[in-house]
Amino acid sequence: MRFGVVVFPGTNCDYDTYYVLKEVLKEEVFFLWHKDRDLRGADCVILPGGFSYGDYLRAGALASFSPIMEEIVSFVEKGGLVLGICNGFQILQEAGLLPGVMLKNKNLKFICKDVFIRVERDNLPFTKKLKKGRVLRIPIAHAEGNFYLEEDELHRLEEREGVVFRYVNEDGELAPEANPNGALNGIAGVVNEKGNVLGMMPHPERVSEPLLGGDEGRLIFESVVEWLKER
């Protein structure tokens, strides 16, 4: 399988993601510069975390106008798989590929810690190796992860089962103290209507091998590989 990892000015999780795909999963992977207009035959494009353009104006806003985003929009329309992690999620929102916006964390501070998230869907290319209801321990690292959507749109998102991950406590229950940033309905990850674009705030690449304290994040990348192989 061929994975393309997009690099914007300010991206800082590109090598982490590249390492997991190449050294842990042993898959073909290459970097895509934000000014590229060729996805080089990628089966899946990943927008990693970081602070594209220094998060000026608004997180992900400037990056959404980079030339490569035109190619990614076309790729998505043709059914291509796209995964946005943290800043990558914010960029996909700003580009109109995923719903909602990210407000500043409720405490107005940058948060970097492990959180628990519950899998809400296991029938997607990104969750094929997960079970609905499973609780994963994955780190977050962001200042703007407070997912917001107008009430009627939020209702439609929930109705179509567009929420893929929610912040929960260790027992898998929604609780105010388990929601690190104030995200509505504890939303940590969402998918588009076609099911081929996933955005998530937690960083699965940071827990993809035991040496890093856990390898549950690896299952998300492995899910994509397995789904692509079965196409």
Catalytic positions are: 86, 203, 205
Residue 166 falls in which region: left (phi positive, over 0), alpha (psi -120 to 50) or beta:
beta
Burial class (CB in 10 A: 0-12, 13-18, 19+), 79: exposed
Torsion, CA 43, CA 51, CA 22, CA 229, rounded to 10: -30
Which are the contacts of 79, defined by CB distance < 8 A and separation ≥ 6? Answer: 194, 196
How many C-beta neighbours within 10 Å does residue 173 have? 12
Q: Tokens 């209801």 correspond to what residue? A: 133
